[in-house]
Amino acid sequence: MSRQSSCSKRTTPINQSLQPLLIHGLKGIEKESLRINGEGSISLSPHPVQLGAALTHPNITTDYSEALLELITPALSDGTEVLDSLTDLHKYVCANINDELLLAASMPVGDLRDPSIPIAEYGLSNLGRMKHIYRQGLSYRYGRCMQVIAGIHFNYSLPEPFWPEYQQFMKHTGDLQSFTTSAYMGMIRNLQRYGWLILYLFGSSPAVSKSFIDSRNSVYSDTLQKFDETSYYKPFATSLRMSEIGYLNPVQSMFHISFNSIEEYIQDLGRATTIPYLGYERIGAKVGDQYRQLNTHFLQIENEYYTPVRPKQPAKSGERPLQALVSRGIQYIEIRSVDVDVFEPTGISIETTRFLEALSLFCLFQPNAGHDLKQHDEISNNALAVANRGRDPRLKLRENGHEIPLRQWALTLCKQMREVCEILDNGNADLPYTRALHQQIETIRHPELTASARMLSAMRTQKMSITELVLQKSREYTRYFQNAALDVAVKTNFDFQVKTSLAQQKQLDATDKIPFDKYLSNYFSQGASASVIHSEDLPQNLPVSLAETATR
């Protein structure tokens, strides 16, 4: 029996005794930013030593490329403090990148040929080599251009005291960890079901540079229209980053990862990290003395699987990500489908984070039945439709086989979110969450207010290419952060982290006792993915939290 459409089902009121427990959820942001030169091309210089060691720094690291910075805030209950932390990280970074800029967009511009995109380096340790080879494998599998697309990850968890009270309210008598994990998986399924709304509201990549099209070499490139000599776009696109020319990968679509339970998720993802794929076997894992990839499986490690929402549990030393989920369940969820907002200096606004928090909570309390393959395809097709033409007034989405106009469905969801926003306002006279919701309602009613529409409008009115627009914003924001004062105590702490991370990497480089081939063989012979860090392979005084940092 099919579920009702979201447009017809009623929201279940949230029990009054639970409401005070909802306002202290932890939020965190991970923001990717490319270092570029004044012309927009990716920096070829190493990760600045002034920013510490990317392998061991808890807040400033690199993603795929040596030039692709990842700025990580602490998890805090106050969303304003999270944005303040992200701002401080930008101030510190911009003060230490010389005459380079931070790209203020998700989609890269400039010279994007593979030789012009340096793969991240992590030192001489076995751990550092493993991380580099994993990224080398990504370049063989998907090309380097795809890997330097930047995004923002929003992390969220409910307060710990909420869960036993909620379990009692739901009359669940089993294990608390199992109950919590099952509830988070339900939240994730609904975030997948309604994830198209995130793309509509916060998509900020309606256009790409010609260099991206040339380097991406996608069969879908012909679906884009020419904006000018160096820019291509789709008139109603919201997030080309999340479209077929962005992160979408045909090989990963060959296997299905179920989110219907944590057990199915672990089983399916674990299988994808152990089954060889012929196309990757042709590349080879180790050719001569050189590693091209960690292995020839569908996924080298779990983190290679791209999904808009991930269940997360920090890994301890000697533990792979899936083992962490098996042992301790889900600690938080990670929303990965948010574009870097070209119109925000940090790439994300406080209103966006408030809406994402409210949407996550809303998804917890909504019916969350499992997805069959038909519903899985429906969810994927809805997301692609919105990424490619979300602002098309004629666009209709599908839920359980029924067509729903995007605007109608979006406004219904926002109406249903009002109760959650009122709870999160917690009596604040400024109504911060309700105001954030109303801002998005206006964006739904007036598509020209979306970041994607504003980008195309700015390009037209100012007669600018996409490269010129994002370079203008990149210069503006980098200078803004360079001229902004950084609190002395904050700077002192960042300086300390830099020195500590450099010392920790040096210690890692000096403590390897076995050849790399043996090191890697040990991982796979034990049935572990290459993201595992064994306790005997780390310096004894390395904090457990740093082991989690090193597995990224």
| Cα(326)–Cα(311) distance, integer angstroms | 12
- Provide the 8-state DSSP code for 65: B
Residues 6+ apart with CB under 8 A from 333: 155, 156, 157, 184, 187, 188, 191, 309, 310, 311, 312, 360
Whether 9 has a pLDDT exceeding 60, the answer reads no
Pairing of the two strands 207-209 and 231-233? antiparallel
Helix (H) or strand (E) holding 273: none
Alpha carbon of 164 to those of 18, 158, 186, 536: distances in Å? 10, 12, 17, 36
Closest CA to 101 of 112, 90, 111: 90
| 8 Å CB contact between 453 and 237 | no
- What is residue 12's predicted lDDT score, i.e. its pLDDT? 56
| Cα(439)–Cα(202) distance, integer angstroms | 12
- What is residue 317's predicted lDDT score, i.e. its pLDDT? 64
Residues across the chain? 552
pLDDT-based confidence at residue 296 (cuts at 50, 70, 90): very high
| 8 Å CB contact between 324 and 315 | yes
Alpha carbon of 147 to those of 135, 247, 551: distances in Å? 9, 8, 18
Q: What average pLDDT does the structure give for the chain?
A: 92
The CATH number of 26-250+307-314+330-484 is: 3.30.590.20
| 8 Å CB contact between 120 and 131 | yes
pTM of the model: 0.93
Whether 290 has a pLDDT exceeding 70, the answer reads yes
| Cα(305)–Cα(255) distance, integer angstroms | 10
Average pLDDT of 389-405?
97
Neighbours of 76 (CB within 10 A): 17
Q: Give residue-wise pLDDT tens across range 460-502.
A: 999 999 999 999 999 999 999 999 999 999 999 999 999 999 9
Alpha carbon of 402 to those of 129, 182, 409, 412, 421: distances in Å? 50, 28, 12, 15, 28
The lowest-confidence range among 45-49, 284-288, 305-309, 537-541 is 537-541
Closest CA to 102 of 345, 413, 395: 345
- What is residue 3's predicted lDDT score, i.e. its pLDDT? 43
b (16+ CB within 10 A) / e for 195-211: bbbbbbbbbbbbbbbbb
Whether 540 has a pLDDT exceeding 60, the answer reads no
| 8 Å CB contact between 297 and 275 | yes
| Cα(28)–Cα(356) distance, integer angstroms | 11
Average pLDDT of 275-279?
96
Amino acid (one-letter) located at 409: W
Which residues are registered as beta bridge partners of 311? 333
| 8 Å CB contact between 199 and 390 | yes
Q: Give residue-wise pLDDT tens across range 366-376.
A: 999 899 999 99
More confident residue, 116 or 410: 410
Average pLDDT of 198-222?
93
Residue ranges per structural domain of the chain: 26-250+307-314+330-484
Whether 4 has a pLDDT exceeding 60, the answer reads no
Phi, psi (rounded to 5 degrees) for 318:
80, 25
Q: Token pair 């479209």 is at which residue?
A: 243
- What is residue 13's predicted lDDT score, i.e. its pLDDT? 64
| 8 Å CB contact between 404 and 5 | yes
| Cα(451)–Cα(79) distance, integer angstroms | 21
- Provide the 8-state DSSP code for 403: E
- What is residue 115's predicted lDDT score, i.e. its pLDDT? 85
- What is residue 551's predicted lDDT score, i.e. its pLDDT? 43
Whether 552 has a pLDDT exceeding 60, the answer reads no
Q: How buried is residue 341: exposed, middle or buried, by Cβ count under 10 Å (0-12/13-18/19+)?
A: buried
Q: Could you give the count of Cα atoms lying within 13 Å of 471 in the half-sphere of its Cβ?
A: 16
The lowest-confidence range among 2-6, 309-313, 479-483, 486-490 is 2-6
| 8 Å CB contact between 82 and 155 | no
Q: Give residue-wise pLDDT tens across range 68-90.
A: 999 999 999 999 999 999 999 99
Whether 548 has a pLDDT exceeding 60, the answer reads no
| Cα(350)–Cα(76) distance, integer angstroms | 14
| Cα(362)–Cα(14) distance, integer angstroms | 10
pLDDT-based confidence at residue 315 (cuts at 50, 70, 90): confident
Phi, psi (rounded to 5 degrees) for 241:
-55, -35
Amino acid (one-letter) located at 385: A
Q: Token pair 């904090």 is at which residue?
A: 543
SS3 133: helix
The dihedral formed by the CA atoms of 320, 326, 328 and 330, expressed in degrees to the nearest 10: 90
- What is residue 1's predicted lDDT score, i.e. its pLDDT? 35
User: 431's torsion region: left (phi>0), alpha (psi -120 to 50) or beta?
Assistant: left
| Cα(469)–Cα(491) distance, integer angstroms | 31
Whether 547 has a pLDDT exceeding 70, the answer reads no
